[in-house]
Structure 1
Amino acid sequence: MKDYRNQYFEGERPLFAEHDATITDTTFGKGESPLKESRNVNLKNVIFKWKYPLWYTHNAKVDHTILEKIAHAGIWYTHHIDMTNCSIQATKTFRRSSYINLVNDHFSNAAETLWNCDHIKINHVQANGNYFGMNSQNLYIDHLDLIGNYCFDGAKNVEVHNSTLVSKDAFWNCENVTVYDSTINGEYLGWNTQHLTLINCTIESDQGLCYIDHLTMKNCRLLATDLAFEYCTDIDAEISSSIVSVKNPISGKIHAQSIGEIIMDPTKIDPSQTTITTDPKISKRKLA
């Protein structure tokens, strides 16, 4: 096992195809692709200052490491990588990579991060940036604090726990998403998604939860959420709060404490296919 300590590297590909190496207290300065095609590398207290630091890497453990702003598009086509206690200032980190384990990391500019990736675990991560997690699949997430629009667009097989997502258009075009004990804030939640399940969640979303096939909600609160469930099919929603308004659900059942307005337009949907109840009585229906 090679051991690099207290080193400084510059120029393109200074440790190209390095393998079976430990790199500690080291800085990679100006120069692209410093560890391209590396194998079986352990990094600790490393700083990457330039582009494409870990492309085509296999089996990397990265701890207390920094990717500075210019180190964008840092980790592409890489498989089996653990990153713990890292600070990532760069955009477009992770593309077409797999078996990614992120623990206690901070992405200060996570725009276009985790695109087209597979088998991802996220635990106690903070991220800020649009289009986080686009077209990725097989994600397990616990304690993600994300601020950024359009997160997880096109994702498949996603399980989320104990997280806060401040995101317009979250979970669009997805398949098989389950969210537990989380807060989601942002307009147009979940459109064009199949099999979305929300359990013990708090949601605030203008025109959220529309165009969904197989929507399940258990013990969820909808804060200032209006025109919900438009053109949704196979709904099973138990809402432990009021709903501002419900509009033209296609089929299923919805129960809430109260509903300010129910719009059921028989020229658009068949009202008999959806059962809507409230506590203590059924809300008055308004035909559009």
Structure 2
Amino acid sequence: MVDESTLFEMARSGIWYTENIAVSNTIIEAPKTFRRSKGIRLKNVSMSNAGETLWKCDRIVLENVTAKGDYFGMNSTNIKVDGFQLFGNYAFDGGSNIEIRNAKLLSKDAFWNCENVTVYDSYISGEYLGWNSRNLTFVNCTIESLQGLCYIENLVMKNCILLNTTLAFEYSTVDADIIGRIDSVMNPSGGIIRADGIGELIIDETKVDSRNTRVITGEMKHAV
């Protein structure tokens, strides 16, 4: 266990193949840290060079962690996060059994190829959020995403806001409860979408059956 408020770690490819490690009140200035490891606890940790960190790890707990770098958390499982800021693309690619609370993620292509992910009370901004994933749930979240939330099996959204989000839900099965307006929705595979308004609803009957999706809204400006 590491617990020193003044500790500063700088290395390359450090802390691989380890089990049951706890690090707190620490700055880690090293990419590719924590790979193929199990039982990792990080509390009050800052990682300003976190590219390719936490790869193929299991049983991860993060509390009040800040990280900057691409491909954070790739192919890792059984992750619990509370208080998290990430600035980096392709976060949690291939991950499973992930629970995140009170986070801010600025991340293109976050949660790709994932399974069993639940995010609470968080802000997410980036392109192509959640593609090719299963069982993604967002609760009380604010999301900005160009062509996000597509190609998802069982997408659930509760009390969420979608800002500047276009061409959402393509080929996704969805149960979405959205506060405010969605800029555009394109070819959902099925389910139900509730929103105050949808700027444009695009349905190509040669690609999806519109009867599989129910849309409830007070405002429909365009329909194709």
For the pair 1:278 / 2:221, whether they are aligned, the reply is no
Structure 1 residues 102-150: Cα deviation after superposition (integer angstroms, max 9, x where no partner): 0000001000000000000000000000000000000000011000000
> Is the Cα contact below 8 Å between 2:199 and 2:222 reproduced in 1?
no
CA distance in structure 2 between the partners assigned to 1:80 and 1:207 by the alignment: 39
- In terms of fraction of residues, the more strand-rich structure is 2
For the pair 1:150 / 2:90, whether they are aligned, the reply is yes
* Superposition map of 1:21-32 within 5 A: none
> Is the Cα contact below 8 Å between 2:129 and 2:150 reproduced in 1?
yes
> Is the Cα contact below 8 Å between 1:264 and 1:285 reproduced in 2?
no
- In the alignment of these two chains, the number of paired residues is 222
With a CA cutoff of 8 Å and minimum separation of 6, indicate the structure with the bigger relative contact order: 2
The code of the aligned residue for 2:120 comes to: Y
Structure 1 residues 60-91: Cα deviation after superposition (integer angstroms, max 9, x where no partner): x01222211xx111110000000001111110
The code of the aligned residue for 1:241 comes to: G
Cα deviation, residue 286, structure 1 = 2.3
Candidates 184, 188, 197, aligned match of 1:258 = 197
Structure 1 residues 30-65: Cα deviation after superposition (integer angstroms, max 9, x where no partner): xxxxxxxxxxxxxxxxxxxxxxxxxxxxxxx01222
Q: Could you say which residue in structure 2 is the equivalent of 1:202?
A: 142
SS, match of residue 164 in structure 2: coil
Q: Which stretches in structure 2 are left out of the alignment for 5+ residues? A: none
Q: Could you say which residue in structure 2 is the equivalent of 1:249?
A: 188
CA distance in structure 2 between the partners assigned to 1:172 and 1:161 by the alignment: 19
CA distance in structure 2 between the partners assigned to 1:148 and 1:82 by the alignment: 23
The code of the aligned residue for 1:240 comes to: I
The code of the aligned residue for 1:101 comes to: R
Q: Could you say which residue in structure 2 is the equivalent of 1:213?
A: 153
Alpha-carbon RMSD across the aligned residues, in angstroms, is 0.8
CA distance in structure 2 between the partners assigned to 1:285 and 1:236 by the alignment: 22
CA distance in structure 2 between the partners assigned to 1:121 and 1:163 by the alignment: 14
Runs of 4+ in 1 over 3 A off after TM superposition: none
TM-score normalized with structure 2 length: 0.97
Structure 1 residues 222-281: Cα deviation after superposition (integer angstroms, max 9, x where no partner): 001000000002x110000210000000000001110000000000000110001113x5
Cα deviation, residue 284, structure 1 = 5.1
Q: Could you say which residue in structure 1 is the equivalent of 2:38?
A: 98
Candidates 115, 118, 125, aligned match of 1:178 = 118
For the pair 1:113 / 2:50, whether they are aligned, the reply is no
For the pair 1:161 / 2:101, whether they are aligned, the reply is yes
CA distance in structure 1 between the partners assigned to 2:221 and 2:135 by the alignment: 29
CA distance in structure 1 between the partners assigned to 2:84 and 2:18 by the alignment: 22
> What percent of counterpart residues are identical?
57
For the pair 1:122 / 2:122, whether they are aligned, the reply is no
Pair member with larger Rg: 1
CA distance in structure 2 between the partners assigned to 1:269 and 1:239 by the alignment: 22
> Is the Cα contact below 8 Å between 1:153 and 1:171 reproduced in 2?
yes
